[in-house]
Amino acid sequence: MANILIIDDEKSIRKTLGEILTYEGYKIDEAADGAEGFKMFTAKQYDAVLCDIKMPKMDGLEFLEKAKETNPDIPIVMVSGHGNIDTAVDAVKKGAYDYISKPPDLNRLLITLRNAMDKTNLVAETKRLRRKVNKTQEMIGASGPILKIKETIEKVAPTDARVLVTGENGVGKELVARWIHERSSRASGPLVEVNCAAIPGELIESELFGHEKGSFTSAVKQRIGKFEQANGGTLFLDEIGDMSLSAQAKVLRALQEGRITRVGGDKEINVDVRVIAATNKDLLKEVEDKNFRLDLYHRLSVILIHVPSLNDRRDDVPLLVDHFLDGVCQEYGITKKAIDPAALKALEDHDWSGNIRELRNVVERLVILSGKTITADNVEDYVVPNRKKASI
Ligand SMILES: Nc1ncnc2c1ncn2[C@@H]1O[C@H](COP(=O)(O)OP(=O)(O)OP(=O)(O)O)[C@@H](O)[C@H]1O
């Protein structure tokens, strides 16, 4: 049930508004002037406020100003008498949601309040989602290697230089690519990701360059490829070490000429794309074994960023654990759980094989299975012998 605060020095108006709104199922509090209203506003969470303009002690505009400073998200609807419509309009300019005139029209009052609260809910939901999205974008870590990576990203991002990101699975290669994109002049353009290992060899070319209708049996429609989709932005080629040699040749040509041709097409299409590639393979070894083209390697590796395994930057483990505890508890809507120093130490010493994704899963598992405080025993039970206890 929504809580509404009515601030008006006229008792009869408070009574009328209060009765209407109570009848409509709202919970009502009343204040006789701005000062009293502000005290109540700071003591309790309201969903909306109806506020008169002309009042003794603190008038409506002053209340509005103070309330907006305290909690800008609560919608305030001004209630204006005949003589102060201009002031009401002024109040809307200063952040009031809207105004209604006295005597209040029942329908207008209810619609205005409902719209105000709907908007507040949308704003809150947007903030929550934005926080959630931004969460995944944070790069946690204060170890030497991570600081160095962040420094490199800051230098490299504004240029159009190609970057090759290397490192084991789940160490944060994709995160590095996202950071580069977000800090580049292409940030308002698309970031398009292709996982080269997940696409069957015979489809990778059509995935990257698109195809014309009828160019092969299953090409029933024309299709725009990832290079074209990424125009004006960044193309992230993940697991580039798994790309077929024939696709490599086409990617090389696209990088050299800034042009692509759709499979089965003859038109050359200009593309303006920055490529960031990532791999968990030793690409020079792949070159030696004739699985990867040296000329493509040189094109891709203008800047090299190696993301070290978590085992080589254990100082970051406590920060990451805290970060994931925050995120997981927020997701589950519970108060953040504490963690014993001994438990933290056990996690720090654990062999993560570099994988931050696994660390997050482990934190989630610990949050679900442990009490208010995560103990070393919990870590022992649910994490350390995880190879033996994989089926808990
Ligand atoms: N420094 C970090 N701070 C916070 N979260 C991180 C960090 N590094 C990685 N992560 C998170 O760990 C997960 C794995 O990271 P990411 O996908 O970037 O790794 P990857 O090396 O690209 O993995 P793969 O090799 O499997 O493609 C993601 O959810 C990512 O947000």
Check residue 166 and give its pLDDT. Answer: 97
95 touches 64 (CB < 8 A): yes
State whether the Cα torsion 55-58-63-67 is positive or negative. negative
Check residue 104 and give its pLDDT. Answer: 84
Check residue 216 and give its pLDDT. Answer: 74
In CATH terms, the fold of domain 3-134 is Rossmann fold (3.40.50)
CA 137 to ligand 1 center in whole angstroms: 9
CA 356 to ligand 1 center in whole angstroms: 6
CA 357 to ligand 1 center in whole angstroms: 6
203 C-beta closer than 6 A to ligand 1: no
362 touches 320 (CB < 8 A): no
Check residue 202 and give its pLDDT. Answer: 79
Residue 359 CA: nearest ligand 1 atom is 12
18 C-beta closer than 6 A to ligand 1: no
- CATH architecture for the domain at 311-382: Orthogonal Bundle (1.10)
Neighbouring residues of 46: CB distance < 8 A, sequence distance ≥ 6: 3, 4, 5, 29, 74
Calpha distance 89→96 (Å, rounded): 9
Check residue 330 and give its pLDDT. Answer: 87
Check residue 340 and give its pLDDT. Answer: 93
**What ipTM does this complex have?**
0.96
CA 335 to ligand 1 center in whole angstroms: 25
DSSP string, 264-287: T---EEE---EEEEEESS-HHHHH
pLDDT of the chain, 392 residues: tens digit per residue: 889 999 999 999 899 899 999 999 999 999 999 999 999 998 888 999 999 998 988 899 999 999 998 888 899 999 988 777 888 888 999 899 999 988 888 898 999 999 999 988 888 777 767 655 654 468 999 999 999 999 999 999 999 999 999 999 999 999 999 999 999 999 888 999 999 988 887 788 899 999 888 777 777 778 899 999 999 999 999 999 999 898 899 899 999 999 999 988 888 999 999 999 999 999 999 999 999 999 999 999 999 999 999 888 989 999 999 999 999 998 888 888 999 999 999 998 888 776 898 899 999 999 999 888 999 999 888 886 544 444 44
Calpha distance 138→103 (Å, rounded): 52
Check residue 174 and give its pLDDT. Answer: 94
CATH superfamily of 144-308: P-loop containing nucleotide triphosphate hydrolases (3.40.50.300)
CA proximity to 370, closest of 381, 359, 360:
381
Tokens of 390: 């994989």
- Of all protein residues, the one whose alpha carbon is nearest to atom 30 of ligand 1 is 172
Check residue 132 and give its pLDDT. Answer: 59
Write out the residue limits of the CATH 3.40.50.300 domain(s) in the chain.
144-308
Residue 140 CA: nearest ligand 1 atom is 3
> Which of 175, 196, 237, 279 to probe ligand 1 with, by most ligand atoms within 8 A of CB?
175
Write out the residue limits of the CATH 3.40.50.2300 domain(s) in the chain.
3-134
75 C-beta closer than 6 A to ligand 1: no
CA 389 to ligand 1 center in whole angstroms: 25
Residue 278 CA: nearest ligand 1 atom is 22
CA 175 to ligand 1 center in whole angstroms: 6
Write out the residue limits of the CATH 1.10.8.60 domain(s) in the chain.
311-382
Check residue 37 and give its pLDDT. Answer: 95
> Which of 305, 357, 358 to probe ligand 1 with, by most ligand atoms within 8 A of CB?
357
